[in-house]
Amino acid sequence: MPAYEIAGLTVAFGNAGARPALDGVSFKVGAGELLVVLGRTGSGKTTLLRSISGLQKPAAGRILEDGGGPQGPVDISSLPPHGRDMAMVFQNFSLYPRMSVKENLAFPLRAKALGLSAGEIEARVSQAAETLGLSDKLCRSPTELSGGEMQRVAIGRALVRRPRLFLMDEPLASLDAKLRERMVLEIRGLQRSLGCGMIYVTHDHVEAMSLADRILVLDRGKVLQAGPPEEIYRHPCDSRVARMLGRPGINLLTSEEGGRMGLPLSEKRLLGVRPESWRVTADPAGPAVASVVEHLGPQMALVLDVQGIVLRVTAPPSLRVKAGDRFRLGVDPADILYLDR
């Protein structure tokens, strides 16, 4: 499978002075790599996928495909969507309700440009259905399927194409939490078994951390940081990246607040401490007062007031906390993040 390089991709909508939807976005996707693009609504994630697939024409930038041949990377920026051999899965399932599951899976293979025989179409549909656990549902209408089954059909329509690159635009956003968790495992297993590259877009940091070989953080059309999930979580480049990962969210303190709490300071403007990094010890004379207690099963999430500074911390359920209890807090200096902004 080929590798891809996105170089200086820029997309602008509206007036000339408007902020670009994508502003010089550059990154690489290795052969067989699962790259997750993480960003909030409006960050440019969908525009990025549409530009890579050929559905959106960028104002500037190139899309290069490297199949490992002697000619090196090939610029595919001017190719139409059908010439790029990519398959895109959208957030909405977009299934044809009057077609059976089998007909939905076969539909993209009936394009004359592919020139596939009826036998080849049948074989591809059967293989995709078996891979996705849909073999016993081929004769059903999409309206008879669960949300997870419909999403599998949508993925199957991309799978039968046997594309060179998968593009997934928040495909699990409309599913409930339990089903999302299962589908994350299925998508990861499917991508590994196929060995194909995948760019997966999401605003959910849990999906990103669970799926990604690498995470690319996108904000307001610009790449903030790219790297392995653990690196992005442990060493965010700034507070915008730090806020996107982790639940409960990271505590960001000014230097003045950090000084009041006795934390070691640096020349950086902000100190970041993850909720799980705090050591919480019950102490009737402690400076931290619990104002909110959330029981989350394997842990508790506490909102503490430390002399007017509000902190989110986690603690084991064995701590037996109720609102109004007081605590002492400690943190390993190695767990403090020092950020410019």
| Residues contacting 144, CB < 8 A, separation 6+ | none
Question: Is residue 293 a contact partner of residue 323, using CB atoms and an 8 Å limit?
Answer: yes
> pTM of the entire structure?
0.90
Q: Is the pLDDT of residue 291 over 90?
A: yes
255-284: pLDDT as tens digits: 999 999 999 988 888 999 999 999 999 999
Residue 240, CA distances (Å) to 40, 43, 198, 272, 304 in order: 11, 12, 25, 11, 23
Residue with more model confidence, 17 or 293? 293
Q: Is the pLDDT of residue 37 over 90?
A: yes
The letter for the amino acid at 180 is: R
178-214: pLDDT as tens digits: 878 888 888 898 888 888 899 999 999 999 999 999 9
Sketch out the chain's domains with CATH numbers.
3-240 (3.40.50.300), 251-339 (2.40.50.140)
* Phi-psi label, residue 36: left if phi above 0, alpha if psi -120 to 50, beta otherwise: beta
Task: Give the pLDDT score at 16.
Answer: 65
Separation between Cα atoms, residue 174 and residue 109, nearest integer Å: 27
**Residues listed for the chain:** 341
Query: Mean pLDDT in the chain?
Result: 91
Tokens of 217: 């953080």
Task: Give the pLDDT score at 181.
Answer: 85
Task: Give the pLDDT score at 111.
Answer: 83
Tokens of 261: 């709490």
- What are the phi and psi torsion angles at 30 (to 5°)? -70, 160
- For residue 17, name the pLDDT band (cuts at 50, 70, 90): low
| Residues contacting 49, CB < 8 A, separation 6+ | 37, 88, 167, 169, 199, 201
In 3D space, the residue among 250, 220, 230 whose CA is nearest the CA of residue 337 turns out to be 250
Residue with tokens 């990861």: 188
Residue 271, CA distances (Å) to 5, 264, 301 in order: 35, 9, 20
Which of 6-15, 109-118, 235-244 bottoms out in mean pLDDT, i.e. has the lowest? 109-118
117-176: pLDDT as tens digits: 999 999 999 988 988 889 999 999 999 998 888 888 988 898 888 889 999 999 888 778
Task: Give the pLDDT score at 115.
Answer: 87
| Residues contacting 63, CB < 8 A, separation 6+ | 4, 5, 6, 7, 9, 51, 52, 75, 76, 77
Task: Give the pLDDT score at 190.
Answer: 84
Which of 15-19, 120-124, 182-186, 288-292 bottoms out in mean pLDDT, i.e. has the lowest? 15-19
